[in-house]
């Protein structure tokens, strides 16, 4: 335990952040070196060992949950595979007429196995994550009816990343069930797929078909991958250390004691929190992608410049993409594809037309998705509200689209003109900020309180140097945040237009390239919010 | 292989270039003075930079327990010894080592007193790495000084002008009684000191040995922070290192803390009255070592007497209003 | 094929379905359009489209959709 105390000493663990020194100058270089020097066949094992060591360092004994998950995923895969194989065998021996009936039986058995697996995995997540929340709520119900007893509120230790790897586990088993992938007979490959160290803390949530083979067949480190990867890590580091961490003290000050501030300041806090969350999460994702890139692994992107979205529904296709995709694949379409829902859609289309017809079934499915999405983020009514808020916005947006289109035709306004597009982008961002206000607030009631203050008391009065000092931020901080945001905006705008800045830089001469690298590194070192006077900020999504 | 060598060479050249930039940035960002506007963190401890060379005999190093309970001016008043508190709030051993090294650049102390509370406070390797790095390349420590950088400073070498009149001691007037239930209850157990902390203690101990400095461990009274398990560990450690160990949490002749009056925050730290008692005891201990000499030099006497007078004037005024109100 | 294009036009007009190959990737067809589309296709072509078939690869172009429909018709 002595070695672990080096990493876990003091307050909490530090390795969870890919921008911690421990990770950047100790763990990552050691893993890369080991990876580079071992023979080709052993590389995957280096990755696996590094991943397990990483998980042990960030969560010590809680690694048993990871092992349990891996083992269970492996066994359930095997089980489903066995049923599928016997089914094929039996089917090939029976005549055509009887096949359907026999197949039904096997499908039913498979479904039961899948159900059991999902209940086990999701159940574990629910127990670890929500038992406190449920117990609390039951207790307040009990106290409402003056019950003479209370149920104990359990305090369970939740391993980091369980919200993420549980989804990967469920996705694997479901894909095996559907026959999309073959059950993996190699438990080590599954282990690597579940536990690959860059992704285990905050995702992205990958499907087996996306990464398992890539990880198992990793290649020698290539020069281009190395430089591109490092570049991406640096870019993410800039987002996280310069912008997100610099905003943290102010956001904390405002949300810790919102009653001290006018609505305008709270609104500013919500805007800053949204920026912080985006920079923190997408910056960490840049690091994940960058690290994976060094190993020659391409991970699915989690962000696609969400703040260029013109509608809330588009926003969610560009923000935390892998989570959205997971919900779409494993909740939305399965719900709408049930027989009842399909019948409902068909009949509703005939009565309500093309647009509103599918909205009923879609709405039900959308509700399920957003309820789960809210709950996934945390045990709290404000998170559930956050989900419902977006559900209403997306469904509402869909309902008024035809009306809006008709309106534009009537007034002869081109919905694609720049001003209107800009209006939609700003409106979407505003709606998102309001959502994040509830997301960040300490509870649903306080969320409404804050929102009320913004509406009733939208004033920036008292926004002077004294207040800034109280918020532990100064005008210079805002300048540096502004400059960095502009830089991020320009890069995003270029990406949005399909220009790859990285390829452009790679084509330049060595002097230009090195100058860019030097400038970026020095910028992060000098303007980063770390060291004296700063409290290190854990990656924000690691707690979800 | 050839490609590999080429790329390795490139990497080395790149890192060398980066190092040059970092050294340059360090030179630019290094504070040119020790005033609050030059470096706002822990001004009290940094005051030692402005003390004339080789004039401080004793260094007190540790966390808030030190600056709350030891008053160098009183030691001066009683014995004519010069001392300084190198302590900051929540000071961990990496910071203690940093202060120790900083002081050793201009001072030649004869005794170093290490307060023991912080020896038990673990900190992550992350901090150790970060702060070892910022000792080599100060840009990592002082990077935030871009906010107050002045152009004319760039070509100036540092000049430290901010003298701390109280020599690192902080005066606390309030009192808040402690609950002494279970305080210093007998125990056979021995508290654990983390691996990393041991390394830091050993570095400080071996430097002291090399420089012929007497190292002393001191546990200042604190009901919240101290117990027998820690005492037992310190007994063992001081035996291993061959140092003196004073635990003022235990009864001593002529020394007793009134936990109703002498603490400012329910037994966590001393207040003025507690500090007077601790300082008196530590002063007589220092005297008993026979290592230190009573300062007679004119310049030193003048500066320290002046600082002492300012302090006593302040305190006496406060004490008289206190007496009047009671 | 014509039938399919007709259905698509009916669900979301003003798209060049004959040539577009990124109906999903460029967010032209949204999830609600897909629901509508599936209901229609199942009725029109007498097939069942299970949830696992709903992947971008199967819906990115009219041609891919046709392929999927033909495959599903054979299966049942």
Name the residue range of residue C32's domain: 2-75
CA distances from B262 to B76, B172, B179, B284 (A): 22, 10, 12, 20
* Domain identity same for A165 and A196: yes
* Domain identity same for A365 and A502: no
Which A residues, 486 through 525, put their C-beta within 8 Å of a C-beta on chain B?
514, 517-518, 521-522, 525
pLDDT on residue B62: 95
Instruction: List the domains of chain B with CATH numbers.
Output: 43-127+157-325 (3.40.50.1110)
Inspect the interface and report whether the beta carbons of B18 and A6 lie closer than 8 Å.
Answer: no
Statement: residue A2 has pLDDT above 50: no
pLDDT on residue B249: 93
* Domain identity same for A258 and A325: no
Residues of A in contact with B125 (CB under 8 A): 6-7, 9, 14, 22, 26
* Domain identity same for A70 and A204: yes
pTM of the model: 0.89
How far apart CA B278 and CA A341 sit, in angstroms, is: 80
Residue of A nearest to B139 (CA): A526
Q: Percent of chain B, pLDDT > 90?
A: 81
Calculate how close chain A gets to C67, using CA atoms only, in Å.
18
Residue B203 or A1, more confident:
B203
Verify C-B touch: 3 or more CB pairs within 8 A. Answer: no
**Residue B212 in tokens:** 């012929």
CA distances from A244 to A22, A456, A540 (A): 20, 29, 10
- Within an 8 Å CB–CB cutoff, is residue A532 touching chain B? yes
Name the residue range of residue A265's domain: 224-303+443-544
Residue B23 or A22, more confident:
B23
Q: Which of A220, A252, A271 is a domain's end point?
A: A220
CATH of the domain at C61: 1.10.1200.10
| Among A334, A346, A354, beta carbon nearest to C11 | A354
pLDDT on residue A12: 43
Residue of A nearest to C36 (CA): A358
How far apart CA B270 and CA B293 sit, in angstroms, is: 28
How far apart CA B246 and CA B224 sit, in angstroms, is: 18
Residues of A in contact with B195 (CB under 8 A): 2, 5-6
Inspect the interface and report whether the beta carbons of A21 and B129 lie closer than 8 Å.
Answer: yes
Q: Which of A421, A440, A459 is a domain's end point?
A: A440
pLDDT on residue A414: 77
Residues of B in contact with A517 (CB under 8 A): 14
Cβ pairs A/B, distance under 8 A? 82
A31-45, A343-357, B37-51, B81-95: the lowest-pLDDT one: A343-357
Calculate how close chain A gets to B51, using CA atoms only, in Å.
24
Per-residue pLDDT band at A417 (split at 50, 70, 90): confident
pLDDT on residue A128: 85
Q: What is the tally of structural domains in chain C? A: 1
Beta-carbon contacts of B92 under 8 Å, excluding residues fewer than 6 positions away, are A10, B63, B118, B121, B123, B127
* Domain identity same for A253 and A320: no
* Domain identity same for A106 and A201: yes
Beta-carbon contacts of A519 under 8 Å, excluding residues fewer than 6 positions away, are none
Beta-carbon contacts of A372 under 8 Å, excluding residues fewer than 6 positions away, are A327, A331, A387
Statement: residue A10 has pLDDT above 80: no
* Domain identity same for A292 and A386: no
Mean pLDDT of all residues in B300-323 = 93
Alpha helices in B211-252 (DSSP H): 228-241
Inspect the interface and report whether the beta carbons of A525 and B127 lie closer than 8 Å.
Answer: no
Q: Which of A405, A440, A475 is a domain's end point?
A: A440
* Domain identity same for A120 and A190: yes
Q: What is the tally of structural domains in chain A? A: 3
Per-residue pLDDT band at A14 (split at 50, 70, 90): low
CA A140 to chain centre: 31
Give me the DSSP letters along C47-72: ----GGG-SHHHHSSHHHHHHHHHHH
* Domain identity same for A149 and A131: yes
Q: Can you give the pLDDT of all 76 residues of chain C as single tens digits?
A: 788 888 888 777 778 888 888 888 777 887 778 887 888 888 888 888 887 788 888 888 888 888 888 888 876 5
Residue of B nearest to A2 (CA): B195
pLDDT in tens, A105-156: 888 888 899 999 999 999 988 888 888 888 888 888 888 887 777 777 777 7
Mean pLDDT of all residues in B73-77 = 95
**Residue A219 in tokens:** 């290649």
Statement: residue A158 has pLDDT above 50: yes
Inspect the interface and report whether the beta carbons of B25 and A525 lie closer than 8 Å.
Answer: yes
DSSP A298: P
* Domain identity same for A242 and A273: yes
Sheet containing B244-247: order of strands: B83-87, B58-62, B111-115, B214-219, B244-247
pLDDT in tens, B121-175: 998 888 888 899 989 999 999 999 998 888 888 888 899 999 999 999 999 999 9
pLDDT on residue A22: 85
Residues of B in contact with A522 (CB under 8 A): 21-22, 25
Substitution target from A317, A338, A349, A359 for chain C, most C beta carbons within 10 A: A349
Beta-carbon contacts of B175 under 8 Å, excluding residues fewer than 6 positions away, are B260, B261, B262, B263, B264, B271, B273
Residues of A in contact with B17 (CB under 8 A): 514, 518
pLDDT on residue A302: 93
């Amino acid at each position: 335990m002595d070695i672990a105390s080096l990493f876990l000493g003091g307050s909490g663990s530090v390795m969870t952040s890919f921008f911690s020194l421990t990770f950047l100058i100790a763990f990552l270089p050691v893993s890369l070196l080991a990876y580079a020097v071992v023979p080709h066949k052993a590389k995957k094992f280096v990755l696996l060992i590094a991943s397990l060591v990483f998980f042990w360092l960030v969560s010590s004994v809680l690694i048993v949950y990871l092992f349990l998950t891996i083992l269970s995923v492996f066994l359930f895969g095997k089980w489903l595979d066995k049923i599928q194989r016997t089914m094929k065998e039996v089917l090939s021996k029976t005549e055509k007429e009887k096949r359907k009936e026999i197949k039904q039986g096997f499908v039913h058995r498979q479904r039961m196995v899948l159900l059991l697996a999902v209940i086990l995995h999701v159940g574990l997540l629910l127990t670890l994550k929500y038992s406190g929340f449920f117990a609390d709520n039951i207790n307040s119900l009990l106290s409402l009816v003056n019950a003479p007893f209370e149920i104990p509120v359990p305090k369970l230790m939740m391993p980091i990343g369980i919200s993420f790897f549980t989804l990967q586990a469920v996705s694997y088993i479901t894909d095996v069930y559907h026959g999309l992938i073959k059950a993996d007979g190699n438990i080590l490959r599954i282990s690597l797929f579940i536990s690959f160290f860059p992704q285990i803390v905050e995702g992205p949530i990958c499907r087996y078909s996306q990464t398992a083979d890539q990880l198992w067949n990793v290649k020698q480190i290539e020069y281009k991958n190395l430089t591109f990867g490092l570049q991406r890590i640096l870019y993410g580091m800039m987002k996280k250390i310069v912008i997100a961490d610099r905003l943290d003290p102010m956001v904390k000050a405002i949300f810790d004691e919102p009653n001290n501030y006018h609505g305008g300041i709270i609104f500013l806090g919500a805007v800053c929190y949204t920026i912080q969350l985006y920079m923190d999460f997408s910056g960490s994702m840049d690091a994940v992608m960058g690290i994976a890139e060094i190993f020659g692994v391409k991970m699915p992107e989690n962000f696609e410049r969400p703040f260029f979205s013109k509608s809330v529904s588009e926003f969610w296709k560009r923000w935390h993409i892998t989570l959205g995709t997971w919900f779409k694949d494993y909740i939305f379409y399965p719900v709408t594809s049930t027989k009842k829902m399909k019948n409902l859609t068909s009949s509703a289309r005939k009565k309500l037309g093309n647009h509103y017809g599918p909205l009923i079934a879609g709405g039900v499915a959308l509700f399920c998705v957003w309820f789960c999405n809210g709950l996934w983020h945390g045990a709290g009514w404000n998170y559930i509200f956050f989900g419902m808020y977006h559900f209403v916005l997306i469904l509402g947006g869909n309902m008024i689209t035809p009306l809006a289109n008709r309106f534009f035709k009537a007034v002869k306004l081109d919905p694609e003109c720049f001003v209107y597009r800009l209006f939609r982008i700003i409106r979407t961002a505003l709606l998102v900020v309001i959502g994040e206000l509830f997301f960040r607030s300490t509870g649903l009631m306080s969320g409404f309180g804050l929102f009320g203050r913004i509406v009733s008391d939208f004033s920036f009065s008292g926004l002077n140097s004294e207040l800034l000092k109280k918020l532990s931020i100064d005008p210079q901080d805002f300048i540096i945040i502004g400059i960095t945001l502009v830089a991020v905006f320009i890069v995003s705008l270029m990406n949005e237009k399909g220009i790859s800045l990285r390829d452009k830089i790679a084509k330049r001469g060595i002097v230009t390239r090195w100058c860019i690298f030097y400038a970026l590194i020095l910028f992060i070192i000098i303007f980063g919010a770390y060291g004296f006077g700063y409290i290190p900020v854990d990656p924000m999504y690691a707690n979800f | 292989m050839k490609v590999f060598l080429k790329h390795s060479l490139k990497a080395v050249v790149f890192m060398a270039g980066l190092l040059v930039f970092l050294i340059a940035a360090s030179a630019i960002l290094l504070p040119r003075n020790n005033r609050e506007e030059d470096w706002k963190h822990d001004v009290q401890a940094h005051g030692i930079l402005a003390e004339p060379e080789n004039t401080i005999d004793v260094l007190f190093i540790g966390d808030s327990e030190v600056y709350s309970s030891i008053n160098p001016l009183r030691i001066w008043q009683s014995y004519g010894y010069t001392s300084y508190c190198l302590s900051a709030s929540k000071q961990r051993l990496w910071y203690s080592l940093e202060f120790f090294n900083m002081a050793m650049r201009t001072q030649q102390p004869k005794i170093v007193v290490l307060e023991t509370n912080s020896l038990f406070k673990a900190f992550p390797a992350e901090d150790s790495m970060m702060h070892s790095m910022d000792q080599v390349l100060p840009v990592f420590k002082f990077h935030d000084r871009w906010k107050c950088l002045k152009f004319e400073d760039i070509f100036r070498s540092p000049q430290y002008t901010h003298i701390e009149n109280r020599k690192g001691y902080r005066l606390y007037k309030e009192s808040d009684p402690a609950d002494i239930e279970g305080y210093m209850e007998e125990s056979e157990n021995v508290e654990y000191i983390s691996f990393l902390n041991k390394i830091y203690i050993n570095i400080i101990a071996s430097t002291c040995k090399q420089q012929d400095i007497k190292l002393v461990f001191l546990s200042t009274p604190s009901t919240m922070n101290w117990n027998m398990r820690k005492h037992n560990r310190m007994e063992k450690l001081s035996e291993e290192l061959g140092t003196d160990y004073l635990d003022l949490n235990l009864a001593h002749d002529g020394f007793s803390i009134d936990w109703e009056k002498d603490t400012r925050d329910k037994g966590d730290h001393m207040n003025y009255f507690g500090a007077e008692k601790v300082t008196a005891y530590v002063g007589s201990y220092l005297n008993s070592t026979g290592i230190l000499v009573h300062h007679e030099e004119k310049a030193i006497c003048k500066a320290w007497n002046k600082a002492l007078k300012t302090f006593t004037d302040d305190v006496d005024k406060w004490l008289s209003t206190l007496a009047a109100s009671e | 094929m014509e039938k399919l294009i007709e259905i698509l036009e009916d669900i979301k007009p003003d798209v060049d379905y004959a040539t577009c190959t990124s109906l999903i990737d460029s967010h032209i067809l949204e999830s609600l359009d897909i629901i509508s589309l599936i209901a229609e296709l199942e009725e029109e072509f007498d097939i069942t489209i299970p949830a696992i078939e709903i992947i971008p690869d199967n819906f990115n172009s009219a041609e891919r959709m046709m392929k999927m429909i033909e495959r599903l018709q054979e299966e049942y």
